[in-house]
Every structure is written in C-alpha cells, then in structure tokens.
Amino acid sequence: MTRPTDIMRRRLLVAGAAFAVIGRSPSGAAAPPIPTPRQTAGPFFPRVLPADTDWNLIQVEGQSGGAAGTPIGVTGRLLSTEGQPIGGVGIEIWQCDALGRYHYPGPQDGADPRFQGYGRVTTDQEGRYRFRTIRPVPYSGRAPHVHFAVTPPGRARFTTQMYIAGAPENEADPLWSRLRNPADRAALTIDLRPSANAGEEQLAGVFDLVLASTGD
C-alpha cells in the first residue's frame, strides 16, 4: 500500500530534479570563468633577477639545503574567459622569505640565501603551470601573499596577488579587503591542503589565472 507520505516524497524528488535541470545552462556546461582581478606588482619586484629563476624556489642552485619555511606546491592553469587554455605564456612569481624579507636592496637586505624569492615558468599546451615555494608569511601591513605576473605575447603585463584562505591578516590587508565582490576574493584566495607529494612539499593549492580575451 502506498502511503500519502511516500507520494509526497516522490513529488518532492521529481520537483527537485526538475529544478536542477532548469538551473543549468541549455548545454549543461559550467558558467564561464570570471577574469582574475588585477592587483599591484608591489614595490619589491627584484631589481636584478637571481641566477636561478626556475620553478623550484626552495632549492637554489649552488646552495646546500632548502629554504626556511613550509614548502608548498602551487599549480594551476592560464585560461581565457571562454575557458580555453592559454599555452606558451610566461608566468612569474615573487614573494618574501620566511622572515618577511624580499630579495631587494635596502631594508630588505638579509633575505634567506637559500630561498630563490623569484621564479618563472612557461605554460604548457593545456595552460598548466607549477611552482614549488614556501607558504607566504605576513609582514608589516600585509597578509601572506605571492605576487604573480603574466605577459601574453603582444599584450600588456598583467599582475595580481595570491592569498591564503583562512589567514587572519586577510581582513585587514589593504588590497584583499578592497575586494568587495566575494567572487573576486575567491579568485585570489587559495585553500592549502596536505600535498600528495609529501616528500617534496607539505601543502598544495590550485591557483587558476583567467585573462580577458582583449585588453586587461
């Protein structure tokens, strides 16, 4: 015997399924990605690039041992707003060491010599890139962050910054706090989780970069 409660439950399930179908685009595809918000390059881009500028910032050629700090892996893809991968494009990162010092003359002297501080790679055909670095740390007035720069051929250099989800300094950071749109904050904030490459890095996160088709 079918009970009234069973009939009602079936109707709710059917209604829920219909709503799910209506809520998707006609093609069933996900919504196109939003452009990554632009942020300043900051004052501490290296005046002179280090001799070692590869993807692994925690191991400097000619230095014994690794950099101080928590090793992390950062991977992602460079995409257009149509969701297409952008291959063959250079991506640069730079950040402070575990003591909050950049490889930059003046008050930043004394940076960890075992930390590269800067790295660059080229995206593959699928737009993918990878860096190994340290978990960024806060310093006076700033939340933990990593600077990124992308220079597509024939286009102006695009710069932004990557932040760490849950960092208590985010809300007071003069740049992160200006991101009023939750989608913009999400686009620049990564969640670090235990890495599958435990022997090489403790934490890992994904940071995709989305460039508008024209302009910046």
Q: How is 126-139 classified by DSSP, letter by letter?
A: T-EEEEEEE----B
Q: Is the pLDDT of residue 4 over 70?
A: no
If one compares 91 and 110, the residue with the highest pLDDT of the two is 91
- If phi over 0 gives left and psi between -120 and 50 gives alpha, with beta otherwise, what is residue 57? alpha
Q: Please, what are the domains in the chain?
A: 32-211 (2.60.130.10)
The answer, as to whether pTM is greater than 0.85, is: no
For a pLDDT cut of 90, what percent of the chain falls above it? 69
Q: What are 192's two structure tokens?
A: 């670090």
Q: Provide φ and ψ at 178, rounded to 5°.
A: -80, -10
Do strands 145-151 and 158-164 pair parallel, antiparallel, or not at all (unpaired)?
Answer: antiparallel
pLDDT tens string 130-177: 999 999 999 999 999 999 999 998 889 999 999 999 999 999 999 999
d(CA 52, CA 38): 27
Give the mean pLDDT of the chain.
Answer: 86
d(C-alpha 179, C-alpha 100), whole Å? 24
Residue 24, phi then psi, degrees to nearest 5:
-95, 160
Q: What is the rounded end-to-end Cα distance, in angstroms, of the chain? A: 64
In whole angstroms, give the CA distance from residue 167 to residue 145: 10
